[in-house]
Amino acid sequence: MLYLLQIALLLGAVYLYFHIGCTVFPSLKKSLLVFSSLMLMASGILAHHQVYIALWVFLLTVFTLVLSRRGVGYGRSGKESQLGLLYINFASIPMIVFLARQMGNL
């Protein structure tokens, strides 16, 4: 039962990540956001760290919302796209950590 709650927490966090990404960064392609969301889901489920990945995603979305409220990057499309790519790149960190741990276990 607890495992299902952890999966539900991860699924909710990833949905929030995708929704905030689509709202705050409309210039990003939806396929790129879907790919990074799937990477977050895969790294959380395969590494059995659903709660930690969900907290990472919540921190990432709060950071993004704080930057968007301050107006950082708006008015200049170059900075907005750079922040969007940073948003995508930070989502890949859990997958990189998972892959590095798997390489260390070989």
Contacts of 51 (CB under 8 A, 6+ apart): 6, 9, 10
Q: How far apart are CA 40 and CA 52, in angstroms?
A: 11
Domain that holds residue 60: 2-9+28-104
Residue-level pLDDT at 32: 92
Residue 15 placed within a domain: no
Q: How far apart are CA 33 and CA 2, in angstroms?
A: 28
Residue with tokens 């276990």: 105
Q: How far apart are CA 65 and CA 47, in angstroms?
A: 27
Residue 16 placed within a domain: no
Residue-level pLDDT at 28: 85
Q: What percent of the chain has pLDDT over 90?
A: 25
pTM (2 decimals)? 0.82
CB atoms within 10 A of CB 4: 8
The per-residue pLDDT for range 24-53, each reduced to its tens digit, is 888 888 999 999 999 999 998 888 888 888
**Total domain count, the chain:** 1
Residue 53 placed within a domain: yes
Residue 93 placed within a domain: yes
Q: What percent of the chain has pLDDT over 70?
A: 88
